[in-house]
Amino acid sequence: MPVTSGFISATSIIIIVSQLQGLLGLKFKAHNIVDNLKKICQNFHNIRIPDFTLGLCSIAFLLIFRKLKEIDCSCGKDNDRPKKNGTAAFLKKFSWFLSISRNALVIVITSTIAFYLEKTGSSPFILSGKIESGLPKLSVPPFSSQVGNQTYTFLDMCSHYGTGLIVLPLVSVLANVAIAKAFANGSSVNATQEMLTLGLCNILGSFVSSMPAAGAFTRSAVISASGVRTPMAGIYVGTMTLLALSFLTPYFYYIPRSTLAAVLISAVIFIIDLKIIKLLWKGCKRDAFAAIVTFLVSVICGVELGLLVGALFNLIFFIRPGARPQIKVIQCKTELGNKYVVLKPDTSLLYPAANYFCNKVMEIVCKYDGNNVPFIIDCERIHNIDYTAIKGIELISSNINAEEKKLWFLNVNLETFDIIQAFADSKYFYFIDKEDEISAIFQGICYTTAFRKYDRTYSIYMC
């Protein structure tokens, strides 16, 4: 969630900045947000007042109509004024309809104005221009390509793309999941379903010469701002897009670019959520750091890299507790006053933690070296252990045994015991069933064999 929040806020800001040139009536190519702002400053004297005015008016129109559905149209109590309440219900529905139709309304109104001005010989606005009509032909995707006089086979093309074959699908899936979570309104998101759907869409898209596709943040924001609530909207939008490409493209010519910029800005401006950084900082600085890094990298270097870096940070934070277990050191005494030291790791011991754990245990053993006390590892929280960790513990135990001491193990569960029994050398592992038996270590009556028979029925060690 922190990475998603940083990604969403960064994407929203990037979209807003990228649309400023359309809002201001400027034309230039920019590679990132910094380049965009730099070129806006350089072309400040070229700002077109008509486009800027139309853009501001469009934003004002969209923001006002966004609030229409929140207006209370009630006219008193139901028992007193039933007719007026019927009118209020109609007004409520009508204002709701106007509110969710605001994007279409502003496009139609401004396009009509632009069309009228164009026909009268005046053209104060930069228009979208001519758009090719029709649909691409259905054909099998090409497995070779001709560039100049050279022919590239399928393997040549794969070699040319290199790591892009892995990075592009990965970023697409991460972006899809992030966008889905942004507009899920608290509902759960099935990442597997998103991945399968994205893959299927791209496979089918290849038969109509489609570019690799993923979820579009701007389109999702516009759809959400229009009041869409179910996936059924995808069928409606797809049908309308196909019909528009077939029959309405000549009319797209008259849509002012500043109006399109206003629609996008008005849709994404409410998705920016920087307040969550403050909330995360109070609750969990690790999550806040992940959100900040994702946000900054996305804004400066691009959302693709930002999302990957954010996911990597989250992965590091996820792995770190398992790779750096905390070891609680407890100095104890038996009823007879014999001292011993209990080492209590807070997680399972697997390969990433093996070397760190062994070094820490040796440091603790060396610290108490002159006290001639036994060491007991409390395995209450060790639910799993692997071969590497077992061999590391064997090394520690052999060093301790060389000094005529022993390393004991307490509260070992069945699964962990079975793994140790399979991999370990029995002379290095000594087990205690319960804390009451610790005093037996000092009396010399405890078993010196490592592996005792385990009664699986009663889940206790048999002495």
Q: CB pairs under 8 A, 24+ apart, for 72-76?
A: none
Q: Which two tokens stand for residue 138?
A: 């259905």
In what order do the strands lie in the sheet containing 430-432? 327-333, 339-345, 375-378, 407-410, 430-432
pTM reported for the whole predicted model: 0.68
The lowest-confidence range among 160-169, 172-181, 398-407 is: 398-407
List of E strands, 52-161: 145-147, 150-152
d(CA 155, CA 1): 38
Q: Beta strand pairing status for 460-461 and 454-455?
A: antiparallel
Q: Which domains does the chain carry?
A: 131-248 (no CATH), 324-443 (3.30.750.24)
Give the DSSP H or E segment for 450: none
Residue 429 has pLDDT above 80, yes or no: yes
The per-residue pLDDT for range 266-318, each reduced to its tens digit, is 888 888 877 888 888 888 888 888 888 888 988 888 877 887 888 888 888 88
pLDDT of the residue at 402: 65
Residue 74 has pLDDT above 80, yes or no: no
Q: Which residues contact 221 (CB under 8 A, 6 or more apart)?
A: 12, 15, 183, 264, 267, 268, 271
CB 344 within 8 A of CB 328: yes
The lowest-confidence range among 24-38, 183-197, 328-342, 437-451 is: 437-451
DSSP state at residue 378: E
Residue 456 has pLDDT above 90, yes or no: no
Among 191, 187, 166, residue whose Cα is nearest residue 177: 191
CA atoms within 13 A on the CB side of 49: 0
Q: Could you tell me which residue, 321 or 62, shows the higher pLDDT?
A: 62
CB 461 within 8 A of CB 433: yes
d(CA 182, CA 265): 17
pLDDT of the residue at 77: 53
pLDDT of the residue at 78: 52
The per-residue pLDDT for range 23-48, each reduced to its tens digit, is 998 888 888 888 888 999 998 888 99
The per-residue pLDDT for range 103-121, each reduced to its tens digit, is 889 999 999 999 999 888 8
d(CA 121, CA 119): 5
Mean pLDDT of the chain: 81
Q: Which two tokens stand for residue 178?
A: 């992030």
Q: Which two tokens stand for residue 350?
A: 């697997």
